[in-house]
Structure 1
Amino acid sequence: MLKRPRTTLWITLLALAAGALAWLAYDSFTARYLRPFDSQAAVFAGAGLRLPAELAGPGPIRVVHFWDPACPCNVGNQQHLGELVERYAGDEVSFYRVQKPGTHGPLPAPLNRLQALTTLPGSEQLPASPAVAIWDHQGTLVYLGPYSEGAVCNASNSFIEPILTALRAGRSINATNTLAVGCYCPWSNTETPR
């Protein structure tokens, strides 16, 4: 009769050990691969943002991607940006990128097609990234803000596709001052992470 309690004890100890190992594996996975999403509000105001002289004036629709290589929020929007480039790049829409001053690192290979801008007048006032600015065919800023609201960005929740579709159809847009909640990193080096 002593064998039954001893067997039960071993089964209980094995179950506890297996549970502890499963918890350690889960904890290690979440610490390494999952980042908490702390929703932050950001106010984007485009009053002082201008295209460089060589891009100003009439031309294609100009889309400028603002990015910080160290920002974990880029993961979700870079795939979406690649899809935008594949869908819209051509004679009518040109894509550019502005990297956060003082940072280093390349964009993923599919996004290397974005032309680099070393400066964009007024971009020092950008509150956070990732962000996007869009100028219409006349060279007028029509949108400044995030790609979407929320923790992830894709075509189903993006602000960009409807704007590009409207501009290509000749409709006017004016959304240069936006408030959005999402995953952002500060653009200024003096701010704390969002």
Structure 2
Amino acid sequence: MPASNKTVTRYHYTVFVLWLVLTLAAANYFIAGRLMSFDPNMKLSGQDSSTVIKQVRAISALKNVNLNHAIIHFTSDECSCTQYSDEHKRAINEQAKSDGFYVININLPTDLLTIIPSTPAILITGGKEELLYFGPYSAGLACSASNGYVETVLQNYAQGFNSDLVISDVKGCYCNI
């Protein structure tokens, strides 16, 4: 029976450290490639809520739509990040409908020049077409509800607070338009 070598040598440590470094470098490379700025061209910089509503109204699908108590989802078929936000979007829609909001889905072409800097994005308006929230569903790679803004805005509005919030300086899984 051959004797087993239970001695850990410098070679074993070197291979382990090299494997660990390469694994961390690969993970960082792939994660950084998916993390995009929501508003890289600063379209929303310095915009007040009335200007945002006016510019959103310029989108042809919203010209004659009543925006009282509305939630508008902006997506793009070409955006791979949309798949990650679908579950979050469904949860938002359920909460919003129970709170008296109606939901509009807008699919934007990638070459449309609007105030929408990236997709997926969401606009929430209150009872007098006042802006409650405009920006991404959430931050991070998965656009999940665990790091979302929308739920907080809807909860605050139900308690009588208007956040008038435009979020643009955040990173996550977004497709720039």
Which interval holds the TM-score relative to the shorter structure? Answer: 0.5 to 0.7
Matches within 5 A, 1:1-194: 37-43=33-39, 45=44, 47=51, 48-50=55-57, 52-56=63-67, 59=68, 61-90=69-98, 92-101=100-109, 124-187=114-177
Which has the larger share of helix?
2
Q: Which moved more, 1:43-52 or 1:141-150?
A: 43-52
Q: Using the alignment, how far apart are the partners of 1:137 and 1:69 within structure 2?
A: 30
SS at match of 1:95: strand
Q: TM-score, normalised by structure 2?
A: 0.65
The number of aligned residues is 133
Amino acid at match of 1:52: K
The answer (yes or no) to whether the contact 2:99–2:158 under 8 Å persists in 1 is no
Bigger-Rg structure (1/2) = 1
Q: Which moved more, 1:90-99 or 1:146-155?
A: 90-99
Q: Using the alignment, how far apart are the partners of 1:83 and 1:42 within structure 2?
A: 22
Consecutive unaligned residues of structure 1, counting only runs of 5 or more, are: 5-34, 104-121, 188-194
Q: Using the alignment, how far apart are the partners of 2:113 and 2:128 within structure 1?
A: 20
Q: Using the alignment, how far apart are the partners of 2:110 and 2:35 within structure 1?
A: 26
> 1:17 aligns to what?
none
Amino acid at match of 1:185: C
Once the two structures are superposed, residues 20-65 of structure 1 have per-residue CA deviations (whole angstroms, 9 ceiling, x without a partner) of xxxxxxxxxxxxxxx7543121226263323533304xx4x21100
Superposed CA RMSD in Å reads 2.6
Q: Which moved more, 1:125-134 or 1:88-97?
A: 88-97
Q: TM-score, normalised by structure 1?
A: 0.60
Q: Using the alignment, how far apart are the partners of 2:99 and 2:137 within structure 1?
A: 22
Q: Which moved more, 1:69-78 or 1:171-180?
A: 171-180
SS at match of 1:133: strand
Q: Tell me by how many angstroms 1:77 deviates.
A: 0.5
Consecutive unaligned residues of structure 2, counting only runs of 5 or more, are: 3-29
Once the two structures are superposed, residues 76-122 of structure 1 have per-residue CA deviations (whole angstroms, 9 ceiling, x without a partner) of 1011111121232146111111111379xxxxxxxxxxxxxxxxxx9
